[in-house]
A = this chain, B = another copy of it.
Amino acid sequence: MFFHRKETIVPVDVKHPDPQFGQFLLEQFGGATGELTAALQYWVQSFHVTDPSIRDMLQDIALEEFSHLEVVGKLIEQHTSTLDQTDVYAAPLFRVRGVGPHFVDSQGSAWTAAYINEGGNVVRDLRANIAAEAGARQTYEALIHNCKDTATKKVLTHLLTREITHAQMFMAALDKMGKLTDPMFGTIKPDETVDLVFNLSKGDDHRGPWNSKPLFRFEDDPKPTGGLPPGPVNPDDEEVKLAAE
């Protein structure tokens, strides 16, 4: 069951509102790497993760992400408070749809659950979460680099910080399961090609630990091992009589 207090988890007090920057901020409200994605991804995972301690962790972090979504929303609300004093074609999204946050990204695309990565297995979920945190951190860095308001920068730096915290929590959980540095999980045994690496893009080739011994066997000039498969059987295709040579 969810509860809410109207005070924000950290203070939000924009000094120099800038509706155009408000449109940038939408990326973390209704965008792919935003707080909604994180909150819903961790929370929906908690419904199929069988270990109660991981479930608890997922829910604790999900709740913090909802609280962060609120903080980003408040930032946008305050940055758009001066929309009437800006050029009519700056920050067009808020002109047409109204001030305050909306569940779209900085380009106006509606948030979609296609951004969420989850399902079936806790190792898969935790790896997805480390990726989600990395995406969120990267977007916060981009926003901070382009932000002129000191108060906003401070909040964004806090939100970036928390993504690192969460990443470390997910890493600690994977580490406890022995899955932080081991690629394998699940019940299916891989076949004998598991240590083969194929050089399929040629030119400017490089070697590194990811395609060298001791972990990998490198195949410099790989060839198809499947023959030419038979053509399709398509009862609806045109009866074509083509004398192709």
In the complex, which residues of chain B have a beta carbon less than 8 angstroms from the beta carbon of A127? 130-131, 134
Q: Return the contact of A131 from the options B63, B130, B179, B211 (Cβ within 8 A).
A: B130
The 12 sampled A-B contact pairs (Cβ below 8 Å) are: A44-B100, A48-B232, A50-B234, A52-B206, A82-B233, A98-B142, A99-B232, A120-B236, A128-B134, A130-B183, A164-B184, A165-B193
In the complex, which residues of chain B have a beta carbon less than 8 angstroms from the beta carbon of A95? 24, 142, 146
**Is the CB–CB distance between A50 and B109 below 8 Å?**
no
Q: Return the contact of A114 from the options B8, B115, B129, B215 (Cβ within 8 A).
A: B115
**Is the CB–CB distance between B52 and A12 below 8 Å?**
no
Give the residues from 211 to 236 in chain A that come closer than 8 angstroms, CB to CB, to chain B.
211-212, 215-216, 222, 224-236
Nearest-CB residue, chain B, relative to A62: B201
Interface bits A24-59 vs B (CB < 8 Å: 1, else 0): 100100111000100010001001111111111101
Known: A5-B3, A142-B95, A231-B55. A208 touches B12 (CB 8 A): no
Give the residues from 119 to 164 in chain A that come closer than 8 angstroms, CB to CB, to chain B.
119-124, 127-135, 137-146, 157-158, 160-162, 164
Chain A, interface size: which category? 35 or more
In the complex, which residues of chain B have a beta carbon less than 8 angstroms from the beta carbon of A89? 20, 90
In the complex, which residues of chain B have a beta carbon less than 8 angstroms from the beta carbon of A184? 164
Tell me how far the C-beta of A105 lies from the nearest C-beta in chain B, rounded to whole angstroms: 7
Interface bits A59-83 vs B (CB < 8 Å: 1, else 0): 1101110110011011011100111
**Is the CB–CB distance between B114 and A32 below 8 Å?**
yes
Tell me how far the C-beta of A169 lies from the nearest C-beta in chain B, rounded to whole angstroms: 4
Q: Return the contact of A141 from the options B71, B188, B204 (Cβ within 8 A).
A: B188
Known: A6-B204, A88-B146, A201-B62. A98 touches B186 (CB 8 A): no
Q: Return the contact of A120 from the options B118, B138, B157, B168 (Cβ within 8 A).
A: B138
Q: In this complex, which of A92, A104, A186 has the most chain B Cβ atoms within 10 angstroms of its Cβ?
A: A186
